[in-house]
Amino acid sequence: MRKFSRRTLLAGLAAGSGAGLLLGGRAFADGPDVSRPLLFHSPPLEPFVDELPRLPRLDGTAHTLDATSTTHRFHRDLAPGAALAYGGCSYLGPVVTAQRGVPTTVEYRNRITAHPFAADVDTSLHGLSERDRTDVPTSMHLHGGVTPPEFDGHPQQISRPGQGMTYRFPNRQDATMLWYHDHAMAMTRLNAHAGLAGVYVLRDEFDTGEAANPLGLPSGEFELELVLQEKIVNSDGSQSIRSTPIVPQGRWEGGAVGDVGVVNGKIWPYTRVARGLYRLRILNAASFSVWDLHFSNHMRFWVVGMEGGLLDAPAPTTRVRLSPGERVDVLVDFGELAPGESVELRNSEPAAPQAAQIGAVHMPVFLRFDVDSGRGHTGGVPHALRSGPGLPPAVGPVPRADHVRTVSLSQPSDVRLPPSIMSLNNLTFASDDIEMPRQGTVEQWNIVNATPDPHPIHLHLVHFRVVERHAIDTLAMCARQPQPPLGIKWTPDPDPYVVDVPHGPEAWETGFKDTVICDPNSVTRIVAYFPTADELGFDPDATFRGPDADGHDGHDPHHEHGADESPGELQGFVWHCHILDHEDHDMMLKYRTVT
């Protein structure tokens, strides 16, 4: 029987208009109208009644991070609901702290006994079966880590319950905030949304995390990690991975917009802050939405870093746009507010167009900061973060590319394909027609987004620089360079169809990044250096295998893989859209760096 995704049916559906979302007697403008029949909704919940949790921390060089089934209370007025977590938490995982140049070892084991979204597993995706509802596959990825391929969390390198492996992270890159999350093939959206995600903070001799750090940055109680998500929760406290009844349960949807903001596992929390400078390290850990973040009073703040580390100097701004997978490191001066004042972290990004067609609107708020009379960090905003005595080297100019390649993002329209699918280069993950940049070279990737939605594109292994963006006339481009049937590579030249002047990177995008927003109907140009094995300290093109049926990590020659579990020989890394539904089906491709 033919199955349908939300995206298959959108063209024939219309959504009604509605009022704001009422939360404990308070209306948030542009909230979803609960009378709209094409969307599921969370029950009315009062905001700012739960205190923001401080995430537990793991210091040292060796850790155990098991994935477990748990229960978690997302809001004071909800019962605990089923969730997944790492490292003994009830939801998410602990903040792992590491030191540059000192390797971290993580002993990982899958101890999941029940999946909160077992009924939502789509058994048509990538060979999944009824088994995967209960014998849950997982694969842990350190997002942003410059990691040997065998420890990168390849989507086909899975561990089932009772299995596990030892991950070794070299930590040879600049200080920054990374994050670890599940990356199992066709299960990432379910596993990560259920709770398998955590923060990983890498320190160095400049950004030490101590009060006397050479950069003068806030530390200790004045440094907060904020894991931002959006969810739909049910009245019994359980999570929903579905946003619409249009798509039957157990079928891939294409991405769900949440209607409540979740920070560190709590819905619309509050936190008390002293009057002074704070460092907020913010992660967009959502499955779907891009957010344009700002404070409710539109106060100025300073971006000091992104995914690849510190900028050359703080970038003052009143907003920052963040897509799934991106991180931003900001300084906020709550000393500008009087004791007793409050300010909210809010979002103004509209819902993506295809979600808006069934009535989805943007989720407007995440948390509230309540200012008390205490004195916070007394130092000011640094003038420089790189390039100078006692500072790390400058980010420097964007290097000249040795090679330019074009890649594409599309939603193939072949109506013979049930269900709808998302694609890179008009290919599926099984394709062998992959990108193969040479080690030791600089490449410019022109990422052509031929869809009406934004897509965050993430490259494993490398960091890159954002060069510029152009809007393009997608209809004209596709008319002259038609998209072939799915499975035939399609990388159309966008340059003849550019319709505006180039837009350089935003102020907060001038450093090193691992994830970039590719806007609808546009081309985004990035430049990446693909390092050599000598520079990395490992062979990025080495072959490897996954854990075997007894849970060994695939590196022990005395253990053979079970016949039904062997992933075969794997090689290289992946690049993909970080909208997790898209990554699962099928907006992810392998790539290799070759000599």
Q: What is the pLDDT of residues 230-250, one digit of tens each?
A: 999 999 999 999 999 999 999
Q: What is the pLDDT of residues 347-384, one digit of tens each?
A: 999 998 888 888 888 899 999 999 999 999 989 999 99
Report in angstroms the alpha-carbon separations of 439 from 165, 333, 465, 500, 528.
28, 43, 17, 34, 11
Q: Which two tokens stand for residue 515?
A: 């994830």
Q: What is the pLDDT of residues 112-139, one digit of tens each?
A: 999 999 999 999 999 899 999 999 999 9
Strand order in the sheet with 176-182: 57-58, 95-99, 197-203, 176-182, 140-143
Q: Is the pLDDT of residue 577 over 60?
A: yes
What pLDDT does 16 receive?
28
What is the tally of structural domains in the chain?
A: 1
Question: Measured between alpha carbons, how far is 122 from 138 in angstroms, rounded to an integer?
Answer: 15
Beta bridge partners of 67: 86, 110
Segments forming the whole domain that contains residue 450: 403-591
pTM for the full model? 0.93
What pLDDT does 353 receive?
87
Q: What is the pLDDT of residues 451-466, one digit of tens each?
A: 999 999 999 999 999 9
Question: Measured between alpha carbons, how far is 78 from 74 in angstroms, rounded to an integer?
Answer: 7
What pLDDT does 567 receive?
59
| Assigned domain for 569 exists | yes
| Assigned domain for 315 exists | no
Contacts of 453 (CB under 8 A, 6+ apart): 352, 353, 354, 520
| Assigned domain for 267 exists | no
| Assigned domain for 554 exists | yes
Q: What is the pLDDT of residues 510-535, one digit of tens each?
A: 999 999 999 999 999 999 999 999 99
Lowest mean pLDDT among 195-204, 493-502, 542-551: 542-551
3-state secondary structure of 116: coil
What pLDDT does 35 receive?
58
Q: Is the pLDDT of residue 564 over 70?
A: no
Averaged pLDDT score across all residues of the chain: 91
| Assigned domain for 244 exists | no
| Assigned domain for 454 exists | yes
Supply the CATH number for residue 549's domain. 2.60.40.420
What pLDDT does 36 receive?
67
Q: What is the pLDDT of residues 31-52, one digit of tens each?
A: 445 556 789 999 999 999 999 9
With a pLDDT cut of 70, the percent of the chain lying above it is 89
What pLDDT does 359 receive?
87
| Assigned domain for 504 exists | yes
Q: What is the pLDDT of residues 478-512, one digit of tens each?
A: 999 999 999 999 999 999 999 999 999 999 999 99
Query: Residues 432-443: what's their mean pLDDT?
Result: 98
Of the candidates 440, 423, 405, the one whose C-alpha atom is nearest the C-alpha of residue 525 is 405
Lowest mean pLDDT among 201-205, 334-338, 461-465, 543-547: 543-547
What pLDDT does 415 receive?
46
Query: For residue 475, what pLDDT band results from cuts at 50, 70 and 90?
Result: very high
Question: Measured between alpha carbons, how far is 193 from 229 in angstroms, rounded to an integer?
Answer: 9
Looking up tokens 């909230």 gives 31
| Assigned domain for 254 exists | no
Q: What is the pLDDT of residues 266-294, one digit of tens each?
A: 999 999 999 999 999 999 999 999 999 99
